Amino acid sequence: MMRAMYSVISGLRNHQTKMDVIGNNIANVNTYGFKKARVVFKDTLYQTMSTGSAPQGNRGGTNQMAVGLGMMLGSIDTICTPAPSQSTGKNTDLCINGNGYFMVQYGNEILYTRSGAFDFDVLGQLCAGGNGALVLGWLADPNNNWSIDTTGELTAINIGRLSVLEPQASTWMEFAGNLDSETPISTDAANPEYPIVTSKEIIDSRGNSHTVYFRFFKTGVAPGSTTWTYQVSYGNMVFGEAGDVSGSLEFDSSGRLVSINGNPPAPITFSITSITLGNGAADISLEIDFSAITEHRGKTDVWAEYVDGYPAGELSNISIGSDGVITGVFSNGIRKDLAQIALATFQNPAGLTNVGQSLYRVSANSGDANVGLPGQGDAGPLIPGSLEMSNVDLSEEFVDMITTQRGFQANSRIITASDEMLQELVNLKR
């Protein structure tokens, strides 16, 4: 009887532990990224009354006889099943649609989390709300065409120093459109009778805007081909001054450009070197591609379709893609990739050590972190503007709570029954 009482003490204690775990699960039913825990019991030592024996002679075998000495905790497992995402509409909230974990720097330690409730602080650092842990990833290099080296060392994502976009001088221009094949021939090259004039803004190294003018006019017709003259001028519509560029365009019978300046179509170079910009900017050297111009019967709509370069701009908005790339939109309309978020996967994510605040630490049984990109492997892509909910199932927890309560109650009944038996034993002497 005394042995029974001491055995059920373990039952009471461990059922109380299970109730504590259930209570923690229920308390975190609305905690983003929370992974529920599960208690597994196992029996403990046995007192052997008789060992088993094998059949022999005309007698059958016997089984072991043993009395158990209670139960104990087998494990408290973290259940890492994914949970549904909840849309928040906030572009810095991120949900992982896979098995990955965000990597964050908390003090001098790298920890891991499933909670993607992030925001940018006053310095431009992407950090976790509540505890300020810094999200890790890779930053773009403005000095290397804004490329992101995802094979490099991880760093805290800080877009503060990337919030200003320096101007970039124009170096390339592409023309498109059509020159009407019915345009009459101009006989006066200095003052053509039927000119087609267009213009385009370009940017210098200081971010200032300048206008380049273009003039086209037909100069000759031959069997199977026509010839046009192009002129390029900077700053005004007076063509033929020092520094201006001119040449010829030849079209075949199908209206396709086959020759520029007597050679196969290739970009021409227009350098603004003979004209002083007057603002300390570097001279502009502009390559111009005319190869897409056609000469067909119809509307004349030739124009500079594209020119690179842009003035200075300030970061005005950001977006985060499913691949974890943080893209910035600047006030000058230019978009640049600023950073990329890293994810980590583990051989045994249930082996991670829970340190609170929705953070986990690597343990000996979790395996080392495999660092990768969102959308690669089993890490899973990101769902921007959403957060992962808790994977706690309230109906399951309430059922477990009832069975745990009844288990605790049944163990307490053993103590009551044992006490009554002891009471009867004591009363035998009366």
Task: Say how many Å lie between the first and final Cα of the chain, rounded.
Answer: 20
- The domain spans of the chain are 2-51+63-80+391-427, 85-158+342-388, 172-307
pLDDT string in tens for the chain (430-residue length):
555 566 677 788 888 999 999 999 999 999 999 999 999 988 876 666 677 778 887 888 778 777 767 788 888 999 999 899 999 999 999 999 999 999 999 999 999 999 999 999 999 999 998 889 999 999 999 999 899 999 999 999 999 999 999 999 999 999 999 999 999 999 998 899 999 999 999 999 999 999 999 999 999 999 999 999 999 998 888 888 878 899 999 999 999 999 999 999 999 888 876 566 767 888 888 999 999 999 999 999 999 999 999 999 999 999 999 999 999 999 999 999 999 999 999 999 999 999 999 999 999 999 999 999 999 989 999 999 999 999 999 999 999 999 999 988 887 777 777 766 767 777 776 6
DSSP secondary structure string for all residues of 202-239: EE-TTS-EEEEEEEEEEEEEETTEEEEEEEEEESSS-T
Predicted TM-score (pTM) of the model is 0.81
Residue-level pLDDT at 47: 64
Residue-level pLDDT at 276: 63
Residue-level pLDDT at 44: 78
Residue-level pLDDT at 51: 78
Residues 6 or more apart whose CB falls under 8 angstroms from that of 88 comprise 385, 386, 387
Q: Which one, of 76, 138, 151, 112, lies nearest residue 346 by Cα?
A: 112
Q: Which one, of 291, 351, 315, 279, lies nearest residue 120 by Cα?
A: 315
Where does 172-307 sit in CATH, by number? 2.60.98.20
Residue-level pLDDT at 214: 95
Residue-level pLDDT at 377: 87
Task: Compute the distance between CA of residue 106 and CA of residue 115 in angstroms, rounded to an integer.
Answer: 14
